[in-house]
Amino acid sequence: MDSLKWTLFLVYLNIHVIQTDSSPWTIKVPSSVKGLPGSCVVIPCSFNFPNPSGKTLTGFTGMWTDATNQIFYHPDKSKVMKQYQNRAELIGDVGQKNCSLKIDPLQQSDTGPFHFRIEIQNLDKYSYRENTVSITMMSELNPIHFSVKEEVVEGQTEFASCSVSHSCPSSPPVFTWNHSGEALFQEQQLENGQWKAKSNLTFHPTRADHNKPLQCTVRYKGGQEHETSKVLKVKYAPVNVRVEHESAVKEGETVQLTCSSDAHPPASSYEWYNETGAQLHQGNVFRLPNVSRHHSGTLYCTAINEVGRGNSSLVQLNVLYAPEIKAISFCSSEGDMVKCVCIVESRPPSMVHFVLSDRVLPSTKVEKHDSVTIGTLQAELGSSAFVLCLANNTQGNANVTLFLPVNNAPVNVRVEHESAVKEGETVQLTCSSDAHPPASSYEWYNETGARLHQGNVFRLPNVSRHHSGTLYCTAINEVGRGNSSLVQLNVLYAPEIKAISFCSSEGDMVKCVCIVESRPPSMVHFVLSDRVLPSTKVEKHDSVTIGTLQAELGSSAFVLCLANNTQGNANVTLFLPVNNAPVNVRVEHESALPVNSRMQSLYIIIAIGAGAILVILLTAVGVVKKCRGRSGEEPTSHMKTMQAEKDVELSQYAATKREL
């Protein structure tokens, strides 16, 4: 490294020498250089000489002398004055016209003036007495130039620099920093034998550096030191966030929590959060008047400045309140033993005792879960019908009477089920009750009292319309039985138009009766002579809907009955009757159709009417035959089915013809 520095320095000197053969005896040397005693000093020097013949010269001898011509430097050390021996060195190559001199170490007496003399074999010799150089001894060290930003940010990459001028390039000053980081050294040549040394520090400040000095120390050859520093201003996010509050507060009082932090710049805002992260308040003071038990829990404070955020540790807010014995506390018995469980909420946790048959007993078992204390008593029943639970803490006390259960038959028998189910699906009914002892079995009955199932769960897969109806559940224990209220099981299914639907006519009027079974009940319409007509009359009997149409006959020989509900639709063609003797008289019925007494009466009336018409027609036929027998004419009769004059197209129905 040193050899490279000297090479650059000598090149610098050489380019300032006039390289012509006719050059006179000239020299370039500063009149004065500054030096630090104990360090070294370099006198930069370059010269020139005349060479009329232009021949290549050898045998150069360069020397330095003082004002009295005493030799300060000579290649032959024996000719050098004793006080200068081993301290002066010609670092330039006189063959290249470089006469630079180094004095190391520099002494106070080395002030000069000095001049350079050159002797050239087979040419000439010359002393540059008019171009002397003096050395000024530095009584004070050169000032240090220090640079760093006014404010730095924690964690970021920051830079600082420290520089100083000196006169000893072979042994430049050594820089030391009091902060960790990466230091890069740089050097630059100045004028008059001076150099500039510089150290650039790359570092990462922390909050611990805030208001602490960043120091640069310069140590020169010879041992002298000089230092300078600047106080760092480090910006950092809030740390040491803390909450001041009372450790415990009574229910109904006011609690105040105060948040503070260490930060630069100071925190500009504060926020409060509960343990789930929900924001509760803004501001460094959080005041809760009339505090209640529901305020108990953990929370924390967040301090914020322009650099970032910092959180406090979780703070437990303890609200103190007297015991409250919960309604779910209970007693149960088995034989002569009683077991009571008393559940108490309080803060601090309560002591729980029991009074049984005038005896005060501690809890057999105690469990504590934060603000809840569960006291359990197991003891002989004695003659008492109740147990008294006592709870107390520093805030107060409470008591409640727990009655011992008596044996009773099941009550509050109830059935859970879906209100409606589609035909083909599965329905599940579940029965439960309140009883002591608990119900040991369950039974299911329909409305007629027929038993359907045993077990608290009644499951009906692939349910059908025939399952519709009412049922109930019976719960049974050793004391007795209890029944649920009647439950209506609704099975939903699409319309089915019954085969007993019919049409009749009187003159130009037609009367059609369309009987539909479905759940829920259906809407019933008719198509007559291409007209869609609503029912003239509608009767609904549970799952049966009877739609009646009365209208002019028109030109059609049939009527289309349409039925639809939420589960689907159906249609059937009802042919109008023709004038002929009754044939194929029949009665149709479906055992699955639930027909009540009113419907049965309707069917009987229809059958009687049809029978009467049949008798009248038979009588009329007999009269006609008799008359024709007298006239000698052969009787003829025929029946034919009337076809519809026009097809009625209804995209949502697939027509099914039925002759009645």
What's the average model confidence in pLDDT over 225-229? 90
358-378 average pLDDT score: 89
Q: What is the pLDDT at residue 191?
A: 83
649/180: higher pLDDT:
180
Measured CA to CA, the distance from residue 471 to residue 425 in angstroms comes to 19
pLDDT value at residue 579: 57
Show the tokens assigned to 264.
């630069």
- Say which CATH topology domain 145-232 has: Immunoglobulin-like (2.60.40)
Nearest Cα neighbor of 516 from 454, 569, 453, 468 is 569
User: What is the chain's mean pLDDT, rounded?
Assistant: 82
Assess whether the region 326-403 and the region 408-492 belong to the same CATH fold: yes
What are the pLDDT digits (tens) for 571-608? 999 988 765 445 444 544 443 334 344 444 444 444 44
* 551: confidence class by pLDDT, cuts 50, 70, 90: confident
State the virtual CA torsion across 578, 580, 584, 587 in degrees, nearest 10: 60
Q: What fold is seen in the domain 408-492? A: Immunoglobulin-like (2.60.40)
**Backbone phi and psi for residue 427, each to the nearest 5 degrees, phi listed first:** -115, 140
- Which one has a higher pLDDT value, 558 or 239? 239
pLDDT the model gives residue 455: 95
Q: What is the mean pLDDT of residues 521-528?
A: 91
List Cβ neighbours of 660 (8 Å cut-off, separation of 6 or more). Answer: 501, 502, 503, 574, 575, 577
> What residues pair up with 451 in beta bridges, in sequence order?
445
The residues, ordered by sequence, that sit 6+ positions from 640 with a Cβ below 8 Å of its Cβ are 578
Q: What is the mean pLDDT of residues 329-350?
A: 88
Query: What is the percentage of the chain residues whose pLDDT exceeds 70?
Result: 83
pLDDT of residue 607: 43
Cα distances from 580 to residues 130, 139, 623, 636, in angstroms, run: 164, 152, 15, 11
Count of H-run helices and E-run strands, the chain:
2, 54
Q: Which fold has domain 498-621?
A: Immunoglobulin-like (2.60.40)
Which range (10-14, 260-264, 416-420) has the least confidence?
10-14
Nearest CA to 497 out of 480, 514, 476, 473 is that of 514
In order, the DSSP letters of 478-535 are SS-EEEPPPEEEEEEEEEEE-TT-EEEEETTEEEEEEEEEEESPPEEEEEETTEEEE-
pLDDT at site 595:
37
pLDDT exceeds 60 at position 215: yes
Residue 81: both structure tokens together: 């004055």
- Domain residue ranges in the chain: 2-137, 145-232, 236-320, 326-403, 408-492, 498-621
Cα Dmax for the chain:
193
The model carries a pTM of 0.50
Q: How confident is the model at residue 288 (pLDDT cuts 50, 70, 90)?
A: very high
Q: Which of the listed CATH numbers 3.40.50.300, 3.10.520.10, 2.60.40.10, 3.30.565.10 matches domain 236-320?
A: 2.60.40.10
Yes or no: is domain 2-137 CATH 1.10.150.120?
no
Residues 6+ apart with CB under 8 A from 500: 515, 588, 589, 603, 606
**pLDDT for res 202:** 95
pLDDT at residue number 22? 52
| CATH classification code of 326-403 | 2.60.40.10
Please tell me the predicted confidence (pLDDT) of residue 389.
94
Question: Phi/psi of residue 120, each to 5°?
Answer: -115, 120
* 55 has a pLDDT exceeding 90: no
Helix (H, G, I), strand (E, B) or coil at 600: helix
Q: Is pLDDT above 80 for 649?
A: no
Instruction: Please report the pLDDT score of residue 374 as a whole number.
Output: 96
Most confident of 435-444, 450-459, 613-622: 450-459
